Chain A
Amino acid sequence: MDYSVFAIEVAFAYDAQSQTRSELRRLILEHSHLTSFEQKYWFYETAAGLLLREAPSFERGCWDYFDNDIALSKYNEWCGGLLKEEGVRSTPSVAGGRGPYRASGETRYTTFTMAFLLARGSNTDRNLASQCQIAPANLWRRDTFIFLLQCVRRFNFANVRSDVIYMIPNRDDFGFTPEDLQAEKFKYLRPLV
Chain B
Amino acid sequence: MNEPFERTHLTDKPAIVGARWWQESMAIAGDPVARRQALQAISIMGASILGVGIIGAVAGSAGDDTRVEKRDALAMQRDYGWNFGAETEALTFDGSTYARYDNKAILSLVNDLTPTSAALRPYYIPTLFQSLLSTPRVTLPEATPGAKALHSVLVPIQTPAMREAYRQGKALATLFQGASDDCAVLVDLDGPLAVAFAAGASSLFEPVFAFDNWPHPLGVVPAHLTLAAVAHYQPLFVKNKGSRPASRVPPLFVLDRGRLNPYSSENTQFDNRYLARVPTGPNLLALGDRKLLYVVPSASYNREADDLNADFVAYGKSGIDVRMIAASDLTPEAGPTAAPPGVPADDWPPYYYGGSAESHHGFWTESGWGPPPRPAPRAPSGTSGLVKAYRPTPRSTQYNSAGTGMSKTRPSTMGTMPVVVAATSGLIVGAAVSRSGSFGRYSSSWGGG
Which residue numbers of A lie inside 8 Å of B, CB to CB? Answer: 1, 25, 28-29, 31-37, 39-40, 62-65, 72-73, 76-90, 92, 113, 119, 132-134, 139-140, 144, 157-158, 160-171, 173-174, 185, 188, 190
Q: Report chain A residues within 8 Å CB of B32.
A: 1
**Partner pick for B20 among A29, A133, A163, CB 8 A cutoff:** A163
A163 to B5, CA, bound (A): 9
* Interface hub of B6, B16, B26, B445 (most chain A Cβ within 10 A): B16
- Of chain A, the residue at the smallest CB distance from B33 is A1
Partner of B439, one of A34, A77, A132, A164: A77
A33-B6, A64-B449 as given contacts; A169 in contact with B442, CB under 8 Å: no
Question: Which of A1, A35, A164 interacts with B18 by CB under 8 Å?
Answer: A164
Query: Would B439 and A165 count as touching, CB distance under 8 A?
Result: no
* Binary interface encoding of chain B residues 429-443 relative to chain A, with 1 for a CB under 8 A from any of its CBs, else 0: 000000011111110
Known: A36-B4, A76-B438. A85 touches B448 (CB 8 A): no
Contacts of B18 in A (CB 8 A): 28, 81-82, 113, 164-167
Contacts known (A33-B7, A77-B439, A162-B23); A119 close to B30, Cβ less than 8 A: yes
Q: How far is the CA of A160 from the CA of B20 in the complex (A)?
A: 12
Q: Assess whether B449 is in contact with A65, with CB atoms less than 8 Å apart.
A: yes
Total A-B Cβ pairs within 8 A = 160
Beta-carbon contact of A174 and B14 below 8 Å? yes
B102 contacts partner chain A, Cβ-Cβ < 8 Å: no
Query: CB distance A34 to B5 under 8 Å?
Result: yes
Q: Which of B3-24 contact A (CB under 8 A)?
A: 3-7, 9-23
| 18 extra interface residue pairs, beta carbon distance < 8 Å, beyond A82-B18, A132-B449, A170-B17 | A1-B26, A1-B27, A28-B19, A31-B19, A32-B3, A40-B5, A76-B439, A80-B440, A81-B18, A81-B441, A85-B15, A85-B16, A157-B23, A163-B21, A165-B19, A167-B18, A169-B14, A169-B16
CA–CA, A84 and B27, complex, Å: 24
Interface of A (DSSP majority class): mixed
Q: Is the CB of A77 within 8 A of B16?
A: no
Task: Find out whether the CB atom of A171 lies under 8 angstroms from the CB atom of B448.
Answer: no
Most buried by B among A31, A72, A76, A88: A76
Determine the chain B residues whose CB is within 8 A of the CB of A173 once the complex forms. Answer: 14
Verify A83–B265 contact, CB threshold 8 A: yes
Please, which residue of chain A has its CB at the minimum distance from the CB of B447? A64
Task: Give the residues in chain B near A40, CB-CB below 8 Å.
Answer: 5, 21
Point out the residue from B5, B441, B445, B448 that lies within 8 Å of A80, measured CB to CB: B441
For the complex, give the distance between the alpha carbons of A33 and B441 in Å: 25
